[in-house]
A and B are shown apart, each in its own frame.
Chain A
Amino acid sequence: MLGSATLVIWYLGTALELSVVVCSLARKSFLRYFFLNLYMLLSVLTSVGRWYLILSGFGVDTDQYRYLYFYTDALLTLALYVAVISLFADVLGELHFAKHLRLSAVVLLLGTAAFSYSVVAQSADRLSTDFAYQLSQNLYFVGLVLTYLLWGAVLKLRETRTRLVQFILSLGLYFSACAASYALKNFTNRYDDILKYVDPLLGCLLPLAWSLTIVRNTEETRLAPASLVVVPR
């Protein structure tokens, strides 16, 4: 049985995810950031599917919920991966790397799928179940590394488009916070009662940050360039 705090966080997070799509439509940016919106839309749809299962009487620790959770989680992580690649395409757009970026993205995705397959290939029984879980976890780490590389590219290329910078920064913070929460869970069991709310709360903060970014900034908003450093001759 789910507690009321868990349900409130779940409803709030889903509402915030929907708000990203609504704000994008209202600010006429839906197609401009199509893959970010697609990720949020898929996340809302998976939440509805999971709710339906819970309301049908299946608990969180039933096999049915686990199947649905980990398969949809793999789908969402895949959508998040595509969203990160689309941000890469935006940042590196002026360098005319689009063709090579697509090649790298496909090779990286296939490599991750092959690695996930190799982990579960020893047992044919586990292929249909553990593969989705492994792919999701492996793509998470690939997404984490890609987001930091993307942040490095933003700094190196002195990107000034506010929306783009804030999307990437909030994504990097989200990935980092998830990793920190995971590390803390493995470090000690003492805070398990609190930590079980941290991941869902983090899931609320990413759509909140993206919604605020879309509402507060237009496509033309630019960050003020950093002060020039006087270099002595």
Chain B
Amino acid sequence: MSRRLSAITLAMGILVGAMGLKTVVMSHAKGSVLVANGPAPTPTRPKPSTGRF
């Protein structure tokens, strides 16, 4: 039981760390998209306020 709780706690810790890192990085973003998949050309970032990409 304790090992299961440790696994869940570890996952939550990683999530908090990753989202914290994202918040720090994205707070200085100027609209560019962080790309991590493949060689295809990247379109501009979706417009968050319009409900459309």
Contacts and interface: CB of A to CB of B under 8 A. Distances in A.
Interface in A85-129: 100-101, 103-105, 107-108, 111-112, 115, 123, 125-126, 129
Nearest to B44: A61
Given A60-B41, A77-B36, A111-B15, A66 B3 contact: no
Contacts, number: 147
**Size bracket of the B interface:** 35 or more
Interface of A (DSSP majority class): helix
A186 B39 CA distance: 20
Contact of B35 (A67, A103, A178): A178
**Size bracket of the A interface:** 35 or more
Contacts of A67: 53
20 contacts: A13-B38, A43-B38, A46-B40, A60-B42, A70-B43, A70-B53, A80-B36, A103-B8, A104-B11, A111-B12, A115-B19, A123-B51, A126-B51, A129-B51, A130-B48, A137-B34, A142-B15, A185-B30, A186-B29, A200-B38
Interface of B: 3-4, 6-8, 10-12, 14-15, 17-19, 21-22, 25-26, 28-30, 32, 34-46, 48, 51-53
